[in-house]
Structure 1
């Protein structure tokens, strides 16, 4: 095993819910002390029961900002190679779930176990930092929705990266940001439809709901998305 591989942290089971109990206060500090984050739509978050929070993806801060804005604790699915060094310790200690984007059924099973016990999972289904308009999403969010009783809550995160900024840029303190929680969506299997077709239809159903929610949130807040421009990143194609 290489030195780099030894640094990577992993989990062997769904993380316990207590580990998230300090991540939300930390997220709130980020939202409301370091930055100036307006939160809308908390009434759309189910008070009890399993929830998948599906957010768009602009920058490294999207997950932490969403965690701090939510009224429910959640375990966020995070790119597995972020689990190294001090950051890896923080992610693991706060109950986040490492996922290998090249294909990681174990991570999905751990996330499903979190949902099966009535807790919440956060996911950035676009997979890579981009324009954040949900033009494309991966099927992991649909798999979780179809294989659990969880509601899917679309989340628009706006302002973590602005037009013209590099995808690796960390915003300056006190920047205005918005987190908008949309109405929950229930995904069910269609009778007489194959598993593959059902998955594809569910993925597109979630993508359309998330995309429309992001567009509506932009109009309501006046906060634009960054253009999907030429400002590439050394991490392009990867999800933090």
Structure 2
């Protein structure tokens, strides 16, 4: 993790508090995890999750053993939570900055051993819905060659829905972690990236529990 972006506040203040913070967060928001055994014990990987709430990033960080690296809109670094976000392995991305620059940055972080979290849909979907994925996640999967872990998060849109200023604990949150997969055999071009992205999104969908 030495090549991942960090700050002295994150290393010496927030990191020691992580175990306690995770315990409090998981219990406060009633987070249940399924498939934790699918998380690779070492090496870089991509966590690809569906996205329905601003609560999704901290939920993911609460269940993975090591801090995940997020690329986030620069607007999220404003008060009241901006200061905290800046020290939690989150890299600001300017609105209007080239997608190529962001993807190259992400590939470099993966080469350095970082665990990168990405939301293939690119934005929050409505409750119960899945959006068509952006090709970027496919590009990262194909070019990096690192395992991609599909993750399905349910319930965050009930706890922290669109339009709410603060989350309201009460409804349970479920995180389903699928088996990691290396996406080989895809063309190293836009067509191949789109196909890989669709397959990754389908692997996330497959984590939905089947009605008994």
Q: Same-fold call, TM > 0.5?
A: yes
Tell me the secondary structure at the aligned position of residue 175 of structure 1. Answer: coil
Partner of 1:153: 149
Q: Does 1:212 align with 2:206?
A: yes
- State the distance in 2 between where 1:151 and 1:16 align: 23
Q: Does 1:109 align with 2:104?
A: yes
- State the distance in 1 between where 2:162 and 2:80 align: 22
1:168 aligns with one of 160, 163, 170: 163
Answer whether contact 1:161 1:171 (CA < 8 A) is retained: no
- State the distance in 1 between where 2:152 and 2:95 align: 22
- State the distance in 1 between where 2:7 and 2:141 align: 20
Q: Cα 1:209–1:64, aligned 2, differ >3 Å: closer, same or farther?
A: same
Q: Cα 1:139–1:98, aligned 2, differ >3 Å: closer, same or farther?
A: farther
CA drift at 1:207? 1.6
The count of residues paired between Structure 1 and Structure 2 equals 202
Cα deviation, 1:54-95, whole Å, max 9, x if unaligned, reads 111111101111110112321122222112234222112111
Tell me the secondary structure at the aligned position of residue 106 of structure 1. Answer: helix
CA drift at 1:152? 0.6
Q: Does 1:123 align with 2:118?
A: yes
Q: Does 1:58 align with 2:52?
A: yes
Partner of 1:182: 178
CA drift at 1:30? 2.0
Q: Cα 1:120–1:29, aligned 2, differ >3 Å: closer, same or farther?
A: same
Gaps of 5+ in 1: 1-12, 223-240
2:81 aligns with one of 87, 108, 122: 87
Partner of 2:139: 143
Answer whether contact 1:42 1:71 (CA < 8 A) is retained: no
TM-score in terms of structure 2 length: 0.81
Tell me the secondary structure at the aligned position of residue 53 of structure 1. Answer: strand
The two structures, once aligned, show a CA RMSD in angstroms of 2.8
